[in-house]
Amino acid sequence: EVRLVESGGGLVQSGGSLRLSCAASGFTFDNYRMNWVRQTPGKGLEWVSYITTSGAIYYADSVKGRFTISRDDAKNSLYLQMNSLRAEDTAMYYCARERYYDSDYGFDIWGQGTMVTVSS
Amino acid sequence: SYELTQPPSVSVSPGQTARITCSGDGLPKKYAFWYQQKSGQAPVLVIYEDNKRPSGIPERFSGSSSGTMATLTISGAQVEDEADYYCYSTDTSGNHRVFGGGTKLTVL
C-alpha cells in the first residue's frame, strides 16, 4: 500500500523551531518529487515547498528563509525544518507526492497531516 | 505572486448541475487540477490536466478550461459530493505551486 505518514507536529512558541518528518512506504521514494502543503484550520490549502528527485528546491514566499525542505532517499523520508515560527504558521501540514500524468505533474498521494500550533 | 480565484461557495439541489470556476492568468498555458476535500480528510484528486478523470472518480465529475478560466462540473450532484473543492496549478515557470482559495459545495 502506498502511504505517507507525517510526524513531528506540536505546540511551539513564537520564534521557536520544529522539524516535521514524512515517512514514505509502498513506492520507490527516490523516483518522485515531494511537497509540503499546509492548511490553516477552517481555511484553504497553501503550498509550502517542494523538492525534486535531483534535489532542486522551491519555497513559497511566505516561508522562504525560515523553512528548509530536505529528503533522505535511503530512509524514504521527507523533512521540513521550520525556524522562526510565527502564529500564522499554525496549520495542518501535509506531505504530498507528485506524479507525472500525461503532460504535467500533480499531487496524487497525501498523508493525513501533522498539526503545528504556534503560540504567541 | 500568482493567484487562482474561486467563488467561496456554490449551492445546488441534489440532481442539479454544479459548476465551480477557477480563474488565473496562467491557465492558458498551464493545466488545472481539481481536488475534493471532505471534512477532516486529506484532499483527493478528481480532475487532472483540465479535463481528465482519474480512475475511480464518478463520471458525473468533468472539467474544462478556456482562456483564463477552468471549470469543474458535477452533473447530477449527489449529497455525498458535499465538500470543499480546490483548483490547483503552477506559475508559468512551473516552479511554484498554487491552490485556489477553495469553494464549499453544498448539496441540499
**Most B CBs within 10 Å, among A104, A108, A115, to test the B interface:** A104
Cα–Cα distance between A54 and A59 in angstroms, integer?
16
Please give the interface size between A and B, counted as residue pairs whose CB atoms are below 8 Å apart: 57
Contact B95 A107 (CB under 8 A): no
Q: What is the DSSP string of A51-104?
A: E-TT--EEE-TTTTTTEEEEEEGGGTEEEEEE-S--GGG-EEEEEEEEEE-SSS
B1 chain-A contacts, CB cut-off 8 A = 61
- pLDDT band at residue B92 using 50, 70 and 90 as cut-offs: confident
Q: pLDDT of B58-91, one tens digit each? A: 999 999 999 999 999 999 999 999 999 999 999 8
The answer to whether B83 touches B37, Cβ cutoff 8 Å, is yes
The mean predicted confidence, pLDDT, of chain A is 96
Considering chain A, what percentage of its residues have pLDDT values greater than 70? 100
Q: pLDDT of A46-60, one tens digit each? A: 999 999 999 999 999
pLDDT higher than threshold 90 for residue A42 = no
Considering chain A, what percentage of its residues have pLDDT values greater than 90? 95
The backbone torsions φ and ψ at residue B74, rounded to the nearest 5 degrees and listed phi first, read -115, 105
The answer to whether B105 touches B84, Cβ cutoff 8 Å, is yes
Contact B45 A44 (CB under 8 A): no
B96 grid coordinates: 511554484
Burial state string for B46-66 with b = 16 or more CB within 10 A and e = fewer than 16: bbbbbbbbeeebeeebbbebe
The backbone torsions φ and ψ at residue B91, rounded to the nearest 5 degrees and listed phi first, read -75, 175
Q: pLDDT of A69-102, one tens digit each? A: 999 999 999 999 999 999 999 999 999 999 999 9
Contact A102 B49 (CB under 8 A): yes
Cα–Cα distance between A37 and B21 in angstroms, integer?
22
Contact A47 B99 (CB under 8 A): yes
The answer to whether A92 touches A38, Cβ cutoff 8 Å, is yes
